[in-house]
């Protein structure tokens, strides 16, 4: 995978995007705004499903109105996120927070899949008797925690605490981030 990231970083478009005076910041800003749209709309639905807020609103009606905005936010967020990765693929690939973010996105996606599958079948029942199953409430809370963690991890990518060019670092950090390090240069230093 590192070879692919290196190859991507050497492409003309990747270099141009990373060095762009205006395009990269515009993509980054669009990414942040689309995160706000995605998470903001997700927040409404998940909070409604906890049964603590928006009790007067029908779950199926809220989902019908909000879901298109959530999907739009997710699509824009995904495209801009891929472009941000493409601009600096090696640094992103070797960033521990990027890896955590990708893992959390996969877990959140699995949760969302099962969440929406069940919700599409049972939401009208919940509208009638106002009884949301505990498992769905837990899934909504899990969704909020996972997506909040994705956002926090994404924000942490900007910091270079564990970048490969910051040596010496403990071996386990270098192994987690796929950093290739000549450890003979650091003999005698604690942790090596």
Per-10-residue mean pLDDT, the chain, length 192: 80 89 94 96 90 81 89 96 93 90 96 86 71 87 96 90 73 78 65 54
Contact 93, 1 (CB under 8 A): yes
Q: How far from 57 is each of 41, 81, 161, 184, CA to CA, in Å?
A: 14, 33, 45, 64
Q: Which pLDDT does position 183 carry in this prediction?
A: 61
> Is the separation of the CB atoms in 72 and 139 below 8 Å?
no
Q: What is the pLDDT of residue 101?
A: 96
Rounded to whole angstroms, what are the CA distances from 16 to 4, 5, 13, 170? 18, 16, 5, 34
C-beta separation of 65 from 44 below 8 A? no
In this prediction, residue 168 carries a pLDDT of: 72
pLDDT at 31: 96
pTM: predicted TM-score of the whole model, two decimal places: 0.82
pLDDT on residue 51:
80
pLDDT at position 184:
66
């Amino acid at each position: 995978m590192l070879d692919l990231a290196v190859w991507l970083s050497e492409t003309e478009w990747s270099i141009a995007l990373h060095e762009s005076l205006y395009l990269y910041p515009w993509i980054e800003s669009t990414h942040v705004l689309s995160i706000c749209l995605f998470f903001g709309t997700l927040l409404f639905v998940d909070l409604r499903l906890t049964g603590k807020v928006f009790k007067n609103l029908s779950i199926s009606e809220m989902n019908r109105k909000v879901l298109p905005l959530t999907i739009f936010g997710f699509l824009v967020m995904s495209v801009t996120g891929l472009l941000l990765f493409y601009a600096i693929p090696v640094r992103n690939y070797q960033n521990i927070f990027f890896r955590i973010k990708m893992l959390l996105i996969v877990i959140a996606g699995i949760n969302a899949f099962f969440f929406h599958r069940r919700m599409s079948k049972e939401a009208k029942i919940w509208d009638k008797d106002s009884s949301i199953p505990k498992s769905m409430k837990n899934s909504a809370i899990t969704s909020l925690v996972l997506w909040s963690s994705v956002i926090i991890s994404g924000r942490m990518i900007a910091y270079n605490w564990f970048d490969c060019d910051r040596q010496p670092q403990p071996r386990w950090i270098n192994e987690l981030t796929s950093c290739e390090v000549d450890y003979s240069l650091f003999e005698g230093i604690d942790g090596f």
